[in-house]
Amino acid sequence: MEKFKKALNSQKVAPYVFVLPFILSLIIFWAYPLISGIVMSFQDISFGGRTFVGTAHYAKLAKDKFFWTAVTNSVEYMVLTLVLLIPIPMMLAVLMESRLTKAKGVWKVIMYIPALTSVVISGMLFRMMFSEAAGSQMNQMLAFFGQSPIAWLKAKGTAWVALLLLCMWRWTGVNMLYFLSGLKSIDTSIYESADIDGANARQKFWYLTLPLIKPTTIYVVTISVYAGLSMFLESFMLWNGNSSPKNIGLTIVGYLYKRGIEKNDLGYACAVGMVLMIIALIINVIQLIATGTFKREEK
């Protein structure tokens, strides 16, 4: 016993004791479901049991037009959120960091508040603001410009305005804070020497700020890619359930949920999940190569 205690306390054994929960959790709650997900995507699962069906689910997916709607929607959503939620927060962070802006603390606190609300609450607020009733906020705004009220959430164009505004509302402040922390890590003496060399504000942004906050940008892009591709609850709440008119709000995860939970077709749903993972991995590898992350590590 004494010996065992001593061994347990040695610096060789202790680290393994500390990381043991991680290893267990990794095996039980990550590796096992991941592998079982891959296996299940080749199986037909019903109450009777499992039968191996090979790549039948994938073949069916390729012809499934709902699935392609879901993929198109998810990819479109991801691209649009990248376009909206990278440059704008970056500009805002630069503006916030400049000497011109006063009361920085107040702005920062307010801009983060939307991120505190749950999707249920924010989804409800936006659904009601974009309601088709004449008295809703957005229809009142249309009335102000002399337009008649429209059913915002029933056509893709206007519905996606609501969806993207909801996304921007929740994440602009968060992404701005990420960029702010990136800006804080830049040594200010660089800007002083640029001033001496007579660089103007635009040049300083393009040639100093942008390259220096690259790690932050890569981080924000990566999390945005994942969040965009796996978006589900926003659309679930905006349309009050998993069915939107003409599937304008159907996403990959929404389809996975519909198949797996609502229709209890687990094998097919797992195949949907695998496609999502492959898309996410491909996009991330492309992005990491494009931004030269691998190259930097080789040095």
Partner 1 sequence: MAKDVNSSRTMASNHKAATVLANGCFLILCCLIAFPLLAGLLASFRPGRELVQNGLAINFDFSTMTLDNYLYLFGQKGENSRVDSAKYFMWYKNSLILTILTVVLTLLVCYFIAYGLTMYKFRLQGFLFFLVIATMCVPFEILMLPLYQEVTALHIINTRAGVILPGLCGASTIFFFRQYMQSLPKELLDAARIDGCTEYGISVKIMMPITKPAFASMAILCAMGSWNNMLWPMLVFRDTSKFTLQIGLNTLLTPYGNNYDLLIAGSMFGIIPILVIYLFFQKYLIDGMTAGAVKG
- Rounded Cα distance between 223 and 213, Å, is 16
Minimum distance, C-beta of residue 85 to partner 1, in the bound complex (Å): 14
Q: Which of residues 91-130 bind partner 1 (CB under 8 A)?
A: 92, 95-96, 98, 100-103, 106-122, 124-126, 128-130
x/- mask, partner 1, residues 22-41, rule CB under 8 A, reads xx-xx-xxx-xxx-xx--x-
* Angle at 268 (CA atoms; ends 267, 270), nearest 5 degrees: 65
* Beta pairing partners, 52: 43
Estimate the crossing angle of helix 156-184 against helix 119-129, to 10 degrees: 130
The CB-of-183 to partner 1 minimum distance in angstroms stands at 10
Residue 229 Cβ vs partner 1, minimum distance, rounded to whole Å: 7
What single DSSP character describes residue 207? I
> Nearest-CA neighbor of 279 among 72, 14, 82, 123?
72
Taking CB under 8 A as the criterion, the residue among 46, 72, 147, 185 binding partner 1 is 185
Which residues, 138 to 157, sit near partner 1 by CB under 8 A? 139-140
Contact 209, 188 (CB under 8 A): no
CB of 184 to partner 1, least distance (A): 8
Token output for 298: 């080789």
Considering only CA atoms, give the Rg of the chain: 25
Cβ proximity to partner 1, 54 vs 135, nearer residue: 135
**# binding residues, partner 1 (CB under 8 A):** 102
Considering only the stretches 54-62, 137-145, 155-163, 204-212, report the one whose residues sit in contact with partner 1 under the rule CB under 8 A. Answer: 137-145
Collapse the DSSP code of 198 into the 3-class scheme (helix H, G, I; strand E, B; otherwise coil) and give the result.
coil
Least Å distance between CB 262 and partner 1? 12
Region from 48-56, 60-68, 188-196, 217-225 binding partner 1, contact rule CB under 8 A: 217-225
Q: How many CB atoms lie within 10 A of CB 54?
A: 9
Q: Which 262-281 positions form the footprint of partner 1 (CB under 8 A)?
A: 266, 269-270, 273-274, 276-277, 280-281
Among positions 226-265, residues that touch partner 1 (CB under 8 A) are 226, 229-230, 232-233, 237, 240, 253, 256, 260-261
Quick one: tokens of 251? 């996403």
Told to check if 133 binds partner 1 by CB under 8 A, we report yes
78 forms part of the interface with partner 1 (CB under 8 A): no
DSSP 43-100: EEEETTEEEE-TTHHHHHHHH-HHHHHHHHHHHHHHHHHHHHHTHHHHHHHHHHHSTT
One of 9, 51, 193, 243 touching partner 1 (CB under 8 A): 9
CB closer to partner 1 out of 163 and 180:
180
As measured in angstroms, the least distance from the Cβ of 145 to partner 1 is 15
- CB under 8 Å to 21, separation ≥6 — which residues? none
